[in-house]
Amino acid sequence: KAGVTQTPRYLIKTRGQQVTLSCSPISGHRSVSWYQQTPGQGLQFLFEYFSETQRNKGNFPGRFSGRQFSNSRSEMNVSTLELGDSALYLCASSPRTSGANTGELFFGEGSRLTVL
Amino acid sequence: QQQVKQSPQSLIVQKGGISIINCAYENTAFDYFPWYQQFPGKGPALLIAIRPDVSEKKEGRFTISFNKSAKQFSLHIMDSQPGDSATYFCAAAQGGSEKLVFGKGTKLTVNP
């Protein structure tokens, strides 16, 4: 079974630009979450989607948005990029069907964003 | 407000030794406590997890100890190996959500 696939793996943007990151979950997984990882703040939760519905959102400004498609693939977008948005953005999928969390997140290798 | 505090920040252990990483949480609504292992250039991978109805869970060389009254949990790695050298994150979650609150991580180095 293929793992979680994130594209692009690396990208460089300048301040003020926007970026879209893509995530393909493990086949059959309908739950997708996004996390931001930085040396200073560690791993921070961004969003959680299940069957195209956002179930949870982290404490990030409105410049950060996401969505999930009917095939469970997900995208996140960051508009008006700031230097502090430089980070590794990780997508994770879960075999969760409904109800309580499974807690078992399968992470991709991440998209490393550098903002200059 | 950091809801999960992890220590130590870094840890050096000799091969065959025991590695111990500790975490403390504040939110009593947390009901799921996983540990993730991350190698450089890779995403975190679930190592072992525990729910608060048990005080200990063991999987191979990895053991989680959980103290509900103290709101603390720890990871013990027995017979540590150089291949265990990685960054370890504790985390906590609340029922019904896949939202994990992570500790800041512990960089473990196991010397041969």
Q: How many CB pairs under 8 A join A and B?
A: 71
Residue A103 is predicted with a pLDDT of 65
Above pLDDT 70, what percent of chain B? 97
Among all residues of chain A, which has the CA nearest to that of B105? Answer: A42
pLDDT tens-digit profile, chain A (116 residues): 689 999 999 999 999 999 999 999 999 999 999 999 999 899 999 999 998 999 889 999 999 999 999 999 999 999 999 999 999 999 999 987 766 666 689 999 999 999 99
Contact B43 A94 (CB under 8 A): no
Mean pLDDT, chain B, rounded, equals: 93
Both tokens assigned to B9: 């920040």
- How would you classify the pairing of strands A111-115 and A87-94? antiparallel
How is residue A26 annotated by DSSP? P
Residue A99 is predicted with a pLDDT of 61
Residue B87 is predicted with a pLDDT of 97
| Residue B94 pLDDT class (50, 70, 90 cuts) | confident
Residue B95 is predicted with a pLDDT of 72
Instruction: Give B105: exposed, middle or buried? Use CB within 10 Å, 0-12, 13-18, 19+.
Output: buried
Residues of chain B neighbouring A100 (CB-CB closer than 8 A)? 95-96
For B77-101, the DSSP string reads ESS--GGG-EEEEEEEEETT--PPE
Contact A42 B97 (CB under 8 A): no
The identity of residue B19, as a single letter, is S
Q: How far apart are CA B3 and CA A59, in angstroms?
A: 13
- How would you classify the pairing of strands A111-115 and A10-13? parallel
Tens of pLDDT, residue by residue over B2-57, are 589 999 999 999 999 999 999 999 999 898 999 999 999 999 999 999 988 899 99
pLDDT above 60 (res B1): no
